[in-house]
Homo-oligomer: A and B are copies of this chain.
Amino acid sequence: MKSKTIVLGAIAATFLLPVYVSGRVTDYVDPKIGSEGLGRVFIGPSHPFGMVKPSPDCTPSPNSGWLPMPVRVDGFSQVHVSGTGGGPKYGNISIMPFCGEGAMSSTTHYDTRRDEEISLGYYSTTLNGSGIRVEATTAPRTAVYRITYPKSAPEKGLAVDAGFFLGESPVPDAREAQQLVGSQVEIVGDNAVQGYSRIRGGWNNGRAYTVYFYAETSVPFTTAATWRNSEIGSERSRADHGDKTGALLEFADGTSSVEVRVGISFLSELKARENAMNDTQDKNFDAVLAGLIDSWEGLLNRIELGPSATEAQKRMFYTALYHTMIMPADRTGENPLWNDPMPYYDDFYAIWDTYRTSMPLITLIDPVRQAEIVNSLVNIGRRDGYMPDARSGNANGRTQGGSNAEIVIADAFAKKLPGVDYEAALQAMLKDATVDPGGNHEAEGRGGLTEYLALGYVPHGIDRAGNRTVEYSFCDWAIAQVAKGLGHNDLYDRYMKQSGSWRNLWRKDYEHDGARGFIMPRDRDGNWLDSIPYGHSRLVKPKFEYTPLTFEGPWYTPWWSMFFYEASSWEYSLSIPHDVPGLIEICGGPDAMRSRLDTFFDKNYFNVNNEPSFLSPCLYHWLGRPDLTSERVADILAENYSDTPAGLPGNDDSGAMSSWLAFHMTGLYPNAGHDYYLIHSPVLESTTFHLADGKDFTIRAIDFSPENRYIVSATLNGRDYPWSTISHADISAGGVLELKMGAAPASWGKQMWPDKN
């Protein structure tokens, strides 16, 4: 293991960096970090938690719209998600400028790109075929484009495609494919088009959602046509017949530049129009862009880095914060399902990903926002039946674990997040824990709950029996914590007991690669399964051997039907965040755990690109060895993260990867649902949190250097601080945590927190 700070700097130096002259932290945000490789981040402009996210769509297949050149551009649609896997969602209401002889006779205008520029709030490219320059920015609910046409080109125009969406499949009912329900367009006067796109399906197999638009051009068009499927005509409107529809707008010959604002709403075209007017008023493209940058500047400045932070570190850190705060989408006032004064957020995608670090990071930066998010979860539970485990397009689904919104609530409760009705939240948690979702288990709730309650574990034969058991145990613990805090001691006792259910899948005599005891498949009768049947044939019952390293099943058995979702037993057998001491004991004690963890990392059983292993590098803390945590974290960061387009090692999952990175760079790491953060050697010499109530909290490394990799002592507000965790309350109170660094491990941090008396 080598010093990682140096390595990070070295990686950054190999790339061309913009010159930062403005002193704005937003200049350090590079939306391209994580856009190539597995990251899949959204690269277009977005306000914080913005409802509208315009981006080029490079073919109808990429999840976030964009793909690297030379892939073609189909158009620029207005709604996207960031960092997701599985089938795409959204990609609604595409616009595409065009010019050239006969261009008004075609509904499609694919083109390739050159001179692409991507920065916070701004996207631009020149289309090779047409020579048109397209620039995009956005207000919270209105995308704004500036289109510059080649001066002499004929038939300068704009296609507004209400029928476009991402993830269309030639097999319309393909699992996770988005499916057209209907679309509609209507020419309104001489400078506007309105309509909608109604789509169902996608990754979460959601019910139909409708994206309404009102697109207004700064220059009147001289000709307008509309289309239904491939037929183009002079009709002013195309009512919804379940077809793809769109409009072709042509501008006068002399037109050089057109600004287009595309107001979006989930309620109606009129509301989309109102959103466009309210969002942008008389502002031009540049003014809208400036407003977007201002909104991020204020938010990102809440965490300030010390002067020694390198450009690469600042780029990684602020981009990570940015990525953490573009989802979920704030759709308050845009809910077509019910009507009450509560905030409404959509695109929890998925809470299984974001509860661990994204939500805790938002809590630190913007607790008011996090309270809104929590309230929207509880309210969705009240109005829709269950809180989401994931939600998009106004529909719950899919469950990965089942009910991890419970951890989000427990995290808020532990951190005393104000503005939440925790009794109501507890009721929503208890719904998850007591009412089996039955046939709706892919969409919400705890699938297999009946069996979990009867047997103490989810047996083989029910999808994702392994991680469901583990995660329900953690969620039960979350319920217990909230119940206890609210004085419901009977509930506390019941759910604390139930939170040990993961032990019922602990196969204690199972040995693998020096480790003893693993969470393994078990049938309804209590038998351990060394091999697992798969497939649905009633004649042949093929089996495959299941070991602690089994990841995917044969013939690409879908993740949804595996024992563990997107992980191995090596990973999940270390993922008991609510009872690490119990885990250490059942693993054979501290020495056995030390050995097990070393094997886990040294043999790459650790999976850096997915969330189940997020906490694992910090487990050394519970062995009294935060120095080992520091080594592992530094190593993982250096080898997997950078400020390049491939700088995220896995799907960013609405900022999950990014927030994991940001926390570790500061030297703090949360254990979601708990009121403390684990302290390890920071990547950044100094980080100051400008807290909501005006207080500041600073983490500062003393004798910070590449060689001094270990914390040897610490003080909190000048007083000796020998513990390896710090409470949220201590951070909220403001102050300074000084970490004295040294070249060799020391005795600091052997104990995680003060003895409780």
Contacts and interface: CB of A to CB of B under 8 A. Distances in A.
A270 B184 contact: yes
B339 A237 contact: no
A207 interface: yes
Contact of A207 (B198, B337, B339): B337
B239 A270 contact: yes
Interface in A322-350: 333, 335-339
Contact of A181 (B186, B337, B435): B337
A336 B242 CA distance: 9
Contacts of A385: 439-440
Oligomeric state, in number of copies? 2
Given A184-B268, A240-B267, A450-B450, A179 B439 contact: no
Interface in A241-256: 241-242
Contacts of A241: 333
Interface in A407-462: 431, 435-441, 445, 449-450
Given A208-B336, A239-B273, A338-B208, A196 B436 contact: no
A386 interface: yes
Contacts of A270: 184, 186, 237-240
Contacts of A198: 267, 336
Interface residues of A, number: 43
Contact of A208 (B268, B274, B337): B337
Contacts of A339: 179-182, 242
Contacts of A179: 338-339
A210 B338 CA distance: 12
A200 interface: yes
A750 interface: no
Given A268-B239, A338-B181, A439 B437 contact: yes
B450 A439 contact: no
A271 interface: yes
Contact of A445 (B181, B200, B335, B439): B439
Contacts of A436: 436, 438-439, 450
Interface string A52-66: 000000000000000
Contacts of A200: 337-338
Interface centre among A242, A267, A436, A445, by most chain B C-beta atoms within 10 angstroms, is A267
A424 to B, nearest CB: 13
A620 to B, nearest CB: 41
A487 to B, nearest CB: 15
Interface of A: 179-182, 184, 186, 196, 198, 200, 207-208, 210, 237-242, 267-268, 270-271, 273-274, 333, 335-339, 385-386, 431, 435-441, 445, 449-450
11 contacts: A179-B338, A181-B338, A200-B338, A238-B270, A240-B270, A240-B271, A385-B439, A435-B439, A436-B450, A437-B440, A438-B440
Going nearest first, the 4 A-B pairs with the smallest beta carbon separation are A438-B438, A239-B270, A435-B439, A436-B438
Given A179-B339, A385-B440, A436-B438, 15 more contacts: A179-B338, A181-B337, A181-B339, A198-B336, A200-B337, A237-B270, A238-B270, A239-B267, A241-B333, A431-B439, A435-B438, A436-B450, A437-B438, A438-B438, A438-B439
